[in-house]
Amino acid sequence: MILKKATVLIVDDDPDVLTAVKLLLKTEANEVITEKNPENLNWLLQRNQVDLVLLDMNFNSAINTGNEGLYWLRKVKEWKPEVCVIMITAYGDIDLAVRSLKEGANDFIVKPWHNEKLIDTIKELLDKKEGIKQIKSVTKGSGGDTSILGESDVMQDIFHKVNKIAPTDANILILGENGTGKDLMAKAIHERSLRAGKPFVKVDVGALTDTLFESELFGHKKGAYTDAREDRIGRFEEAQGGTLFLDEIGNISLQQQAKLLTVLQNRQVTRLGTNKAVDVDIRLICATNAPLSELANENRFRKDLIYRINTVEINMPPLRKRNEDIVILARHFAKLYASKYLKPSMDFDASALQKLKSYNYPGNVRELQYTIERAVIMADDHVLKPDDLIFSILETTADLAVDDDNVPLSIMEKNAILKVIEKHNGNITRAAKELGLTRTALYRRLSKYDI
């Protein structure tokens, strides 16, 4: 966001500070609001479309602990989690200022500050916020819930990268655990690209057999194989002029990799049952839940193909690594499903928010989404409480050994095996390797535990 369009709220009990900042920002910002009493914060935030708050660390010189600032910081993030907050602190309170970053502040400035530095800090934060808004705007309105939300530093860095690479034709590899939003990110990149008006075609290549792989991607002529009853174009041709998204690329065989590499090098496909090559013009995005270190193993993935698909990589972080995004995501899903199921507007009480923030989310954003959907459907009140939030047994069972010291060793082993097999989407070879077992030993344990 350009500072000229922004509304800045300054909250400090020192009138000299309020005057100095207002004079500094008067010609820089759209509107500057000053307030001495933090008790009026909620009223001001509800009444005005505030983009950024400058918040003092201390409001009572007799106490001077900084706890007042931290308290009001938490309140701002509870009332308006999307608002940027810069803490104002004295030099002796640097430790408290650093603590405020952990509590959700975006930055802090030390009195006395340099005017240019303060303006640059505000502009940088608002630019990052605009990057978030741009991602949201292109991912809404395309059917279903396709919003990508996040105010954490790691997500802001991703949004910044997307804004740079989306308009190019660079091939992109999206990495991340299941449920982190890789498919939504692929769609967002397409919608911000110069190919936005052209097709976006998704293929789960990890689920295709060798025959289906060729037929699905490259197409076939009638009679090319037993079930080929009519001519059919492949996904490459279907995506002509647009974007082809190959999901779970890490699961395809070496034989499939060789065929894919040939097409990407030549930019031509040949349908099964013909000898005629067809030129294709697509932008390629791939995704996998396998770490890049696993893909670098030439025994299971060709390095020349990695280089071909990985001009730029994006790492989607697990939700446990972006804890500060949990509340904004939860409120988004509550609003979405309240509307979908014709419920009144939903919010969370403080203890429910704390429960959401303290959970580990092995199923990532997808698990949070389904948890909030269930809560909205079953809730009897418009305020969701801790008892309304029931996390999936599918995920919590796998984490049982971590949470309960009294679990028998056999249960711990079974849960560990289940978790690793799920991580590798049922691939026994990879699961056995991670567990340090042979395939035969793993099969014996599967039989033993009736898995």
Q: How confident is the model at residue 136 (pLDDT cuts 50, 70, 90)?
A: low
Q: Which CATH superfamily is domain 400-448 in?
A: Homeodomain-like (1.10.10.60)
Q: Residue range 199-203: average pLDDT?
A: 95
> Residue 367 has what pLDDT?
93
CATH class, range 3-130: alpha beta
Contact 172, 189 (CB under 8 A): yes
Strand partners, 326: none
pLDDT digits (tens, 9 = 90+) for 79-119: 888 889 998 887 656 677 777 887 788 888 888 888 888 89
In whole angstroms, give the CA distance from residue 283 to residue 264.
Answer: 10
Q: At 143, is the pLDDT very low, low, confident or very high (cuts 50, 70, 90)? A: very low
Question: Is the predicted pLDDT of residue 137 greater than 70, yes or no?
Answer: no
Confidence of residue 265 (pLDDT cuts 50, 70, 90): very high
Are 171 and 311 contacting, i.e. CB atoms less than 8 angstroms apart? yes
pTM (two decimals): 0.61
The fold for domain 153-315 equals Rossmann fold (3.40.50)
Strand order in the sheet with 107-111: 31-35, 7-11, 52-56, 84-90, 107-111
- pLDDT tens digit string along 37-69? 998 999 999 888 899 999 998 876 545 555 788
Name the residue with higher pLDDT: 206 or 129. Answer: 206
> Nearest Cα to 56, choosing from 115, 100, 3, 118?
100
- Please name every residue paired with 278 in a beta bridge, in sequence order, or none if there are none: 269
Where b means 16+ CB within 10 Å and e means fewer, 16-48 reads ebbebbeebbeebbeebbbbbebeebeeebeee
Query: 12-45: per-residue pLDDT in tens?
Result: 988 888 999 999 998 888 899 999 999 899 999 9
Give one DSSP letter per residue of 69-95, joined into a string: HHHHHHHHHHH-TTSEEEEEEEGGGHH
pLDDT score of 404: 44
- Specify the pLDDT at position 140: 46
More confident residue, 73 or 100: 73
Domain locations in the chain? 3-130, 153-315, 319-396, 400-448
Whole-Å CA distances, 148 to 151, 180, 372, 381: 10, 10, 16, 28
Average pLDDT over residues 370-385: 92
Q: Tell me, what's the pLDDT at 397?
A: 47
- Is residue 327 within 8 A of residue 357, CB to CB? The reply is yes
For 319-396, CATH gives: 1.10.8.60
Whether 226 has a pLDDT exceeding 70, the answer reads: no
- In the numeric block, the tokens 């013909």 are attached to 274
pLDDT band at 401 (very low <50, low <70, confident <90, very high): very low
- In angstroms, rounded to a whole number, what is the distance separating the alpha carbons of residues 125 and 87? 13
Is 66 in contact with 58 (CB distance < 8 Å)?
yes
- Which residue reads 């071909």 in tokens? 308
Residue pair 389/368 in contact (Cβ under 8 Å)? The answer is no
Q: What is the pLDDT of residues 175-184, one digit of tens each?
A: 999 999 999 9
- Does the fold of domain 153-315 match that of domain 3-130? yes
